[in-house]
Amino acid sequence: MLDGIKHILRSIRVFRRSKAGNPNQAFGEALQQHIASSAELNQHSFSHQKPTYEHFVGEEDDDDYEEDFGVVDCECDDENKRKCGRKDCPRPNIATILVCVLLFLVFVLLPAVYLLHCFDLLKSHWEVNEDGNGDGPSGYSAWEYAMVDHTYGDSVIGDFASSAKGKGALKKRLREIVITERPPVLETSAPTRSPTPPPHSQCSALPEARRFDCFPGEGASKEGCEARGCCWVPTVQEVRRDYNYGSKVEVNSEGQGNKEPNNLSNSVDSHNEGGKMKNVADRKAAEGEGLPPLNVPYCYFPPGDTGHYYSWVNISSEVVPSYRDLELDPLEDERSLMETGLGSMTGFLKLHTPSPYPSDIPLLRVDVKFETKERLRVKITDASHPRYEPPYPEVPILDISRKDRNTVQPQDSLYRVEMDKSRVGFAVIRRSNNRTLFDSRSVGALVYADQFLQMSALLPSDSSMYGIGEHQAPLNLPVNWQRFVLFNHDSVPKNNTDVHKTNLYGSHPFYMATEKDGSSHGVFLLNSNAMEVILQPGPAVTFRAIGGVIDLHFFLGPSPREVVAQYTDLVGRPFMPPLWGLGFHLCRFGYKTLNRTREVCESVRKAGIPLDVQWNDLDYMKQGNDFTYDPETFKGLPEFVEELHKLGMHYVPLIDAGISGGDKAGTYPPYDEGLAAGVFIKNSSGLPFVGKVWNKVSTVWPDFTNPTSVPYWSTQMERLHKQVAFDGAWIDMNEPSNFYSGTEKGCPTSGTEPGPYGRREADLEHPPYLPPVEGSLLAFKTVCMSARHFAGSHYDVHNLHGFTHAIVTSFAMTELRGRRPFVISRSTFAGHGHYAGHWSGDEASTWTDMANTVPAILNFNIFGVPLVGADICGFNGNTTVELCSRWSQLGAFYPFSRNHNTDDGIDQDPVSLGPLVVQSARKALLIRYSLLPYLYTLFWRAHAFGDTVARPLFFEFPDDPNTHGIDRQFLWGSGFMIVPVLDEGKTAVDAYIPKGIWYDFYSKEVISSSETGHMVTLPAPADTIPLLVRGGTIIPMQAPNMTTGQTRQNKIELMVAVDNDTTASGVLYWDDDDSLNTWEEGHYSFLTFTLGKGNTTPGRRPDSNAELAAKQVTGTAEGSVLSGVVTWRGVPVPVNLGAVRVMGVSGPVRGVSANGQSVPFSYDTKSKYLVVENLDLDLNTVFIIMWY
């Protein structure tokens, strides 16, 4: 109070001194000082200290005080010999005080009241913007917009009060200032605008599906929501549980919570199920509950919000190297839409209102690049400072600023981009039908703080959504308020009953949207930080990450297959596995000895079950240490591996991500050498980070972003390989998993200074916003976020650990063997399929988990990881005979097929579970091995062109909406359907059969021949999995044997399924099945097979020698012609064509010829099945088979 009075007195003094000057200017200065001191006045308003002279003026102001109030110095009597004090000085009389009060009333109070009245009168003539289509953000009048957004001055504003067009002119001028005249200066100070909540009527009118969460964390309340300038509208009146304290909260229509009395806070979560405890991990452990369901948010961004936190500074169709090179782009109208003609656009966004999160980025750069005809990139970054960006995958960088390197002209692309200068955001539109695919303009709000990034967008209204992994979820993702958390974590896959899909082993921030007519597109956010992706009924998507940048890539398809091909073209095509990797694999955690390993392996082979690869889990190691084997329990392991090699088999051991850190110096080289090389992840003190996994004492982790990890890891693998000649690597626990949450003592949070990557320990371990990760702690069962890597803090690179582990291991395997690497990893990230395969982790031995593996397999093919499978019969728990029988049938058609389980479960190899499982496994696996030429060709297509191996039905029938949600049956390629039995006690299965002709693989008869898709019930005996072949398909096969190598030596056979028009086609890729770069270097052969009607082989002259010979044999030019042509021959095909089997041949068949020579055949008139065997046709030349 006293300090406020002091400022008022000084203001009066300023005015009095300026009486010889401009009184209006003096009054303005005085008033400004008064306003500036209002906060101090409030601060001291409750002071009860007795005022003294020094409270009113400082000692330096004595002269001024005396001059102003007529006070004179008192002269002391020399005889008193004392110094006079102020208490001896005269005091001002009552007249002086009255004069001062009068002056204050006339020159301060009355003018202030008058000005306030004028302001209020002026404001009343400028209405509030209700719909966001007027001037300024939604909920602001033009007057409020002008008053609060005074970052930039403009002299024209001062003229509006007296202007005849005041209202309209101000609207337009304000917009021009916001959009075109603000220079992109760098300001680190926080904006001064305070958000204002819109009216309740405006908020309640917004449909629930279009409400984007403004308060995604805990503790939302009406007051906190409106402080963010957002709408607070509870949707229902209900009783909810407040998880903060376990008491009930009754929510009324105004959104206020009334608790049962306990004198505790009643803050509630922004969603319908209330708040959460800070230590949700403890609650979950105690109550066994998941996170509260996501639903319509109570607190959401206002409708029509033109830019809640940011506004455009400039949009240019020219390439702008830096914000310093920015040239302002003039506005032609208020709703100008920009469409580039040069293949790029650059825009700048200026922060005008602070977000609720610390360290907002004041100036953002938005780069739009038309990279290819089908691919678009939109990147939003800090315009003035570099931010962390993931170093992997290494996406191509196209320099579109140089015309000679421009890959596409915008007018030739499948899309266009619109950026509305009046609204923050952009829209991606498909040119062919003018459909908007992604529209972030005034949708939710763009938030770009240091540790909180958020962007929302509307999607096509009839979209089916796929991707966003890794989660146990349906293939067709629901959009009814679903949250998908991406933060790699060692967790048991579980099908969440609520809408929170908790984080699993991998992170793939990529989705594909398919519309009802089959048109598809994909969106990939290249960001490796922890994030969550929200799907809501708009349909709409929200990306919410806690670091990095917003780097969006759009893929325009337009078919689902093309979307995946375009995505893998960016992140890396899948690697080409060796053929033996496509055989059957056998493993268990709990063999415990080499003798037991050998027994199981031999029993499976003796049962006639094909087997290519024997694995060992952790128990082969010495004390759980990588790159060792136990010399006692696994004595003779090198010799056992050599025996496998002699049988044409292979061996794969487990190699965990962690290295033992507790062995005595000099006794464990992997630790000693890693320590010397400085290769381990470091703690915040610069020492190796120490945790605990399977090692006896402690564990340290190599930093695979460090270049020195490559020679280090290669050396360790080479040392083991010299002892045990393994053929592939199984890398596990590489999320990384940790038995501690950080170190044994937790994670450091006491550091007050920023670390080497610019953030304090506490900021990394406990960021301002925490996605609902499992354990409610980023470091839960993993490494501390403050740990240091070569590429950045663990906070940033956590999701890349398993990916970089796979990259380095793949390289090491290539160097070791000089052949194709075979690596299977649990942790994954975008681009993982370029280096390794994946299995779905610790599935439980349940019918539900078995069924959930189908969408998991299909999703990873969409992610570009076609070599994927699940533990056949389940990993955790005890399987049953029926379950394992059905799972063995399904698992035979996983692209990666392995039986594996835990150490505390029963034996579940096929022989251990008895005759039914043996019969099911043998029958299904023999079919798999017979289809190896077809399967291997599919993997080649994935490697060369980005195709999928296992694919959903809608990939082949995108225009059939009934296929969009099917995830209980799937295809190999385009023409082979697998329909597993996924329910207990069933001997028949209902399947959706798309349009066209479909044949039963076993009976060769037509199952369906319809112009539309429909449901069909298929028989499924206990030992049989239903399989169908699509009409129009030619599938290359071989007679199966016990290994892939032995099968490879048999003659090729063709299974032909005739289409309605008596046509079919197929291809065969052939190489030496294990060498490096065979496709890239042309060391392969490629054959095409074609079935047609008539006397002319497609693509050949009708008077060729082969056809003339056929005419002489048949006496007619009419009939069906099956031809095989080598379109590329880099290596010879060492086996010949031995048989042709054709389904759907309209009889009768009178004769068959092969290369002009009559050959024997058999024909079943009932099933219309033609068999031509005992052929020996050279596949390195053209062959022609005809029947009539």
pLDDT tens profile 733-783: 999 999 999 999 999 988 788 888 789 999 999 999 999 999 999 999 999
Q: Are 139 and 196 in contact (CB under 8 A)?
A: yes
Written as six digits, the tokens of 235 are 């949707």
Query: Tokens 């069933």, residue?
Result: 986
Residue 141 has pLDDT above 50, yes or no: no
501-505, 1045-1049, 1179-1183: which has the minimum mean pLDDT?
A: 501-505
Q: What's the mean pLDDT when you consider all of the chain?
A: 81
Q: Give the rounded percent of residues in the chain with a pLDDT score beyond 90.
A: 67
Band the pLDDT of 191: cuts 50, 70, 90. low
Cis peptide before 302 (omega within 30 of 0): no
Residue 933 has pLDDT above 60, yes or no: yes
Q: Are 1073 and 1100 in contact (CB under 8 A)?
A: no
Band the pLDDT of 321: cuts 50, 70, 90. low
Pairing, β 506-514 against β 828-829? parallel
Q: Establish how many alpha carbons lie within 13 A of residue 993's alpha carbon, considering only the half-sphere containing its beta carbon.
A: 24
4-8, 223-227, 641-645, 1182-1186: which has the minimum mean pLDDT?
A: 4-8
Angle (deg, nearest 10), helices 2-17 and 23-36: 170
Strand partners, 613: 585, 650
Residue 533 is inside which H or E element, if any? strand 531-536
Residue 193 has pLDDT above 90, yes or no: no
Band the pLDDT of 1155: cuts 50, 70, 90. very high
Torsion angles phi and psi, residue 917, rounded to 5: -65, -40
Name the DSSP class of 680.
B
Predicted confidence at residue 505, as pLDDT, reads: 97
Residue 896 has pLDDT above 70, yes or no: yes
Catalytic residue among 329, 490, 626, 735: 735
Residue 402 has pLDDT above 80, yes or no: no
Residue 923 has pLDDT above 60, yes or no: yes
Q: Are 441 and 305 in contact (CB under 8 A)?
A: no
Predicted confidence at residue 151, as pLDDT, reads: 31
Written as six digits, the tokens of 234 are 């509870």
42-51, 343-352, 440-449, 905-914: which has the minimum mean pLDDT?
A: 42-51
All residues at 6 or more sequence positions from 1121 whose CB lies less than 8 Å from its CB, including other chains: 1091, 1092, 1093, 1094, 1095, 1096, 1097, 1098, 1184, 1185, 1186
CA distance 419 to 313: 12
Distances (CA, A) of 23 to 16, 67, 98, 107: 9, 20, 21, 10
186-190, 936-940, 1066-1070: which has the minimum mean pLDDT?
A: 186-190
All residues at 6 or more sequence positions from 992 whose CB lies less than 8 Å from its CB, including other chains: 953, 962, 963, 966, 969, 1013, 1014, 1015, 1016
Q: Is 437 left (phi over 0), alpha (psi -120 to 50) or beta?
A: alpha
Predicted confidence at residue 293, as pLDDT, reads: 58
Q: How many residues does the chain have?
A: 1188
Q: Are 833 and 808 in contact (CB under 8 A)?
A: no
Written as six digits, the tokens of 648 are 């044409």
Residue 556 has pLDDT above 50, yes or no: yes
Predicted confidence at residue 412, as pLDDT, reads: 79
Band the pLDDT of 342: cuts 50, 70, 90. low
Residue 1080 has pLDDT above 90, yes or no: yes
- The mean pLDDT of 214-225, rounded to a whole number, is 90
- Residue 252 CB-density burial (10 A; 0-12 exposed, 13-18 middle, 19+ buried): exposed
1043 alpha-carbon distance from chain centroid: 38
Show the CA angle centred on residue 286, arms to residues 281 and 287, nearest 5°: 100
* Pairwise pLDDT comparison (15 vs 950), residue with the higher score: 950
Written as six digits, the tokens of 677 are 């090389």
Band the pLDDT of 496: cuts 50, 70, 90. low
CA distance 853 to 871: 9
Q: Are 740 and 689 in contact (CB under 8 A)?
A: no
Angle (deg, nearest 10), helices 915-930 and 881-891: 0
- Indicate the SS3 state at residue 1102: coil
* Pairwise pLDDT comparison (1060 vs 15), residue with the higher score: 1060
Band the pLDDT of 116: cuts 50, 70, 90. low
* Pairwise pLDDT comparison (183 vs 817), residue with the higher score: 817
* 735 a catalytic residue: yes
Band the pLDDT of 320: cuts 50, 70, 90. low
Q: Which own/partner contact pairs does 265-269 have at CB distance under 8 Å and 24+ positions apart?
A: 266/242, 267/218, 267/219, 267/220, 267/221, 267/224, 268/219, 268/220, 268/221, 268/240, 268/242, 268/298, 269/218, 269/219, 269/220, 269/243
* Pairwise pLDDT comparison (20 vs 977), residue with the higher score: 977
User: Which of 227, 312, 319, 223 lies closest to 268, judged by CA?
Assistant: 223
Cite the beta strand spans of 753-896 per DSSP E: 788-789, 792-793, 823-825, 828-829, 837-839, 868-869, 871-872
Residue 1140 has pLDDT above 60, yes or no: yes
Predicted confidence at residue 231, as pLDDT, reads: 94
Strand partners, 1034: 1056
19 alpha-carbon distance from chain centroid: 69
Band the pLDDT of 497: cuts 50, 70, 90. low
Written as six digits, the tokens of 728 are 């592939």
Residue 784 has pLDDT above 90, yes or no: yes
* 149 a catalytic residue: no
- Indicate the SS3 state at residue 436: strand
All residues at 6 or more sequence positions from 877 whose CB lies less than 8 Å from its CB, including other chains: 844, 845, 846, 902, 905
Q: Are 1012 and 982 in contact (CB under 8 A)?
A: no
* Pairwise pLDDT comparison (574 vs 753), residue with the higher score: 574
Pairing, β 1137-1143 against β 837-839? unpaired
Predicted confidence at residue 236, as pLDDT, reads: 52
- Indicate the SS3 state at residue 884: helix
Q: Are 1107 and 1095 in contact (CB under 8 A)?
A: yes
CA distance 269 to 890: 43
Band the pLDDT of 352: cuts 50, 70, 90. very high
Q: Give the rounded percent of residues in the chain with a pLDDT score beyond 70.
A: 74
193-197, 264-268, 400-404: which has the minimum mean pLDDT?
A: 264-268
Residue 163 has pLDDT above 70, yes or no: no
Cis peptide before 1134 (omega within 30 of 0): no
- The mean pLDDT of 101-130, rounded to a whole number, is 56
Band the pLDDT of 343: cuts 50, 70, 90. confident
Predicted confidence at residue 1103, as pLDDT, reads: 44
All residues at 6 or more sequence positions from 768 whose CB lies less than 8 Å from its CB, including other chains: 357, 358, 449, 451, 452
* Pairwise pLDDT comparison (423 vs 179), residue with the higher score: 423
Predicted confidence at residue 1039, as pLDDT, reads: 98
Catalytic residue among 732, 763, 796, 909: 732
- Indicate the SS3 state at residue 376: strand
Number of C-beta neighbours around residue 361 at 10 A = 24
Helices (H) and strands (E) in the chain, counts: 27, 56
- Indicate the SS3 state at residue 564: helix
* Most distant CA pair in the chain, distance: 154
What's the predicted TM-score (pTM) here? 0.80
Range among 261-265, 306-310, 1035-1039 rated most confident: 1035-1039
Predicted confidence at residue 76, as pLDDT, reads: 43
Number of C-beta neighbours around residue 605 at 10 A = 17
Band the pLDDT of 314: cuts 50, 70, 90. confident
106-110, 569-573, 1164-1168: which has the minimum mean pLDDT?
A: 106-110
